[in-house]
Amino acid sequence: MKQRRTILGTFGVATIFLGTAVAGSAAAADPDTLAEAVTVEGITQHLEAFQDIADANGGNRAVGTPGYEASAAYIESVLAEAGYTTSRQAFDVVIRDVDFDFTVTGQDGIVGIPMSNTPVTGPTPITAELVAPTDPLGCDAAAWAGADAVGKIAVVSRGTCSFGEKSIAAGAAGAIGAVIYNNEPAELNGTLGDIGPAYVPTIGITQAAGAAIIADLVNAPEATLRIEEEVETIPTFNVIAETTTGRDDNTVMLGAHLDGVPEGAGINDNGSGSAAILETAVQLAEQGELNNQVRFAWWAAEEIGLLGSAHYVDDLLANDPEEIDQIATYLNFDMVASPNYVISVYDADQSTYEAPVVVPEGSTATEDVFTDYFDSVEQPWIDTAFDGRSDYDAFIANDIPASGLFTGADDIKTADEAALFGGVVGEQHDQNYHTAGDDISNINTEALDIMSNAIAYATASLANDTSAVNGVAAPVEPAAPAPTVPVAPAPTVPVAPAPGAAPANELAATGTETSDLLLALGSGVLALGAAALVIGRRREAAHQK
């Protein structure tokens, strides 16, 4: 056993530095902790509140209705209890009340639904022969090659391309109207997207009705289509809230649309996204100081054209353009609990789907936050097209990075998807999409659990650091003072004077020889101290082995 030697003597001030302290990130929310705090149980309480609100207000929460107002008031009350100050951003929207008729000679009881944002015929209906493209999907000019559609009403199948693309292709081929039939046994309630001049009056019909029409085309049946609308301008509003901590010049933003369709309560679409970010906001408020501010938005009027989010960004451009550059990234959550779900992430890096929009720089890094999280917990995921067909559109159009999560709407589950996520092959991801069946029973809690964990994890991660997205580094704490160890100075050693020399006290007074001696002794002690540190560290390493 080694013996410790103690050097006795007169001690002064001397220090040996053991190391250098390293600056680190400021205290921030822990992503794993927030992911655990945001639970399905907490989110379900909000979903049940939305269902109760719909039940008490005509069965829906559509924009401009008492159900929407009550939904917003509920959001505000929950946020106020969590310590947030909310604001309502008011604007006006145009509501189109559509009335229509569709009949086909030789067919009875056809169920049709006008596509959202379809052109109208006016009070005078159009009557024309029905025609199908060479390629039943009717997505482009090639699909209509060899078919005479001029002055006729096109009949095309759902699938592959958007409803808007089908309507545009039919119009380009000369058709004066379009009927899109479903590719599964259900009503077809879709949207053409933004209102545009290239569309023709377009409705959706069931798969059975489409099959009957196609089978009878050899008889050249005629159809009559009337679509009229009543236009009303109504006031509505977005709900906005943000954290009280974090730098406000580097804001992370989350959004979900709060409105549903008039047909039902809209609990998956999009109560699920609204409730998930609400519970994330509640739990984030308990996490303490943040590095970056987090802003939450509940959008109005998404179902009639992404109007709430567009108004928000347009208002910033007009009144506070600097704020556009201060939004680090935008995360969108539109349907995160579909019953026949997929776990999908917006494909910003275009690894699966080529984007039909310009993808802002930083969007791929935002996507990576989600995909890296899923990979870390061994959760399978797939891409969904980064196409701007939800509330992130206005953000990416103004070069704000974005990504988001989606569990599916009216697309059909494939065998490959079922192998990854389970569910029913050949059925829609949400079999009750845009129908009265989208109620509280339409929520898949397994999907909601997976997605809410990812939402919370990504929120905390980006609240900590967005440097991978936009190059803005997280703040750092000052380096802590380095720990020190006091070291004894050289002991006082009496020195005998040489024969005939002056007394020692005189030498000390005049100085030089004594100073040199003390300096040498002091250097020796420092060397001993350093050696002792090396020995101590070796002993510590030996114990660790």
3-state secondary structure of 313: helix
CA pair distance 354, 347, nearest whole angstrom: 9
CA pair distance 153, 133, nearest whole angstrom: 11
CA pair distance 507, 447, nearest whole angstrom: 88
3-state secondary structure of 527: helix
Q: Which of 76, 242, 263, 302 is catalytic?
A: 302
Q: Percentages helix, strand, coil for the chain, rounded to the nearest 5?
A: 35, 20, 45
DSSP string, 229-284: EEEEEEEEEEEEEE-SSSEEEEEEEEEEE--B-TTS--IIIIIIHHHHHHHHHHHH
Spatial neighbors of 248 by CB under 8 A, at least 6 apart, are: 242, 293, 326
Amino acid, single-letter form, for residue 262: P
Amino acid, single-letter form, for residue 493: V
3-state secondary structure of 344: strand
Give backbone dihedrals phi and psi of 303, rounded to 5 degrees, phi first.
-70, -15
CA pair distance 263, 194, nearest whole angstrom: 21
Give backbone dihedrals phi and psi of 287, rounded to 5 degrees, phi first.
-90, -5
Q: Residue 371's closest CA among 329, 409, 404?
A: 404
302 in active site: yes
3-state secondary structure of 69: helix
**Bond preceding residue 270 cis, omega within 30 of 0:** yes
Q: Where are the beta strands (DSSP E) in 60-132?
A: 86-104, 112-114, 126-131
Residue located via tokens 């050097």: 7
N-terminal to C-terminal alpha carbon distance within the chain: 18
Q: Residue 150's closest CA among 123, 117, 128?
A: 128
What are residue 102's DSSP bridge partners? 225
Question: What's the length of the chain?
Answer: 545
Q: Which is it for strands 402-406 and 344-346: parallel, antiparallel or unpaired?
A: antiparallel
3-state secondary structure of 223: strand
Q: Hey, which residues are catalytic here?
A: 302
